[in-house]
Structure 1
Amino acid sequence: MLDRWAERNRDGLILLARLALMLLFVLSGWAKLHDFQGTVGYMASLQAPLPQVAAAIAVAMEFVVAIALMLGIAVRPLALLFVAFVLGTALLGHAFWGMQGAERAANLTQFLKNVSIAGGLLLLVVTGAGRYAVGRGRR
């Protein structure tokens, strides 16, 4: 019964998944864009190589690419690119293995959150955008 319901609502569920997966990133990317110098400073504090470039990449991925995924534009390749981004940010920004106590626990949670998001994105690589996507009618 659940299988039939899921199949009947497949495209709507894929749309909902795209929106849910990317909402966090759109909001975060918007904040990074509006305080770009603060974002550069944060990247420098993480010892990211080329902090200004890293900040620009973060804004592009979290705002521009996330909106594209929400809209259903180039979902498979962009979702795969986003997998690399969230795993890279997990390694760079949430290096829990070098921390202790509450800081370690918080960063472990954030690291695992990124791994979980990567799993959801891999499902988008498999399913694609579904029927509810910008430009779908032209295909």
Structure 2
Amino acid sequence: MSYSDAIAQRVETLSHSALINGVTPLAGRILLAAIFLLSGISKISDPAGTIGYINMVGLPIPPLSYGAAVVTEILGSIALILGFQTRIVALILALFSVATALTFHNNLSDLNQFIHFFKNIAMAGGLLQVVAFGAGRYSLDARR
């Protein structure tokens, strides 16, 4: 067996391992979900401030937008962690991230807003990877 064949065989073995197909996607889902869960909790802890911020950017019916954001972030993060309906949830969270970037972080001349804008875009990219490749071995989706 040639050296390149041995490497190809090792890569094939790794791609089917529990680490690659199980632990890594689980860790990725948890890390992606953490920011949504923390953001949702912070919104619950300061509804008036969040509704005021939503009103400031001009979204219609700020209390409804607030409720939708809290539900999206809390339920979406929990579903993502558990790996439940993962591709659909990841797509919703990716669209939410892009919408949030465009709505709340669009002043790119402000360094803080610039960072938040591209953080949201990067999160959407990670979530689209979940849409493409699924939840992995350790998920409720894999049990069905």
Indicate the TM-score class for this superposition, using the shorter chain for normalisation.
0.7 to 0.9
Pick the aligned partner of 1:85 from 96, 112, 115: 96
Pick the aligned partner of 2:67 from 56, 69, 74: 56
Pick the aligned partner of 1:118 from 107, 117, 124: 124
Amino acid in structure 2 at the alignment position of 1:17: G
Q: Which has the larger radius of gyration?
A: 2
* TM superposition shift of 1:91: 0.4
Q: Deviations over 1:1-24 (max 9, x none)?
A: 684545421221000000001101
Distance 1:18 1:135 in 2: 13
Amino acid in structure 2 at the alignment position of 1:105: L
Equivalences for residues 32-43 of structure 1 within 5 A: 32-43=43-54
Aligned residue-pair number: 133
User: Gapped runs of 5+ residues in structure 1?
Assistant: none
Q: TM-score, normalised by structure 2?
A: 0.84
Tell which deviates more after alignment, 22-31 or 128-137.
128-137
Equivalences for residues 10-21 of structure 1 within 5 A: 10=20, 11-21=22-32
Deviating above 4 A after TM superposition, structure 1's stretches of 4 or more consecutive aligned residues are none
Q: Deviations over 1:94-134 (max 9, x none)?
A: 0124xx4xxx1111111010110011000000111111113
User: Gapped runs of 5+ residues in structure 2?
Assistant: 1-6
Q: TM-score, normalised by structure 1?
A: 0.87
SS, match of residue 47 in structure 1: coil
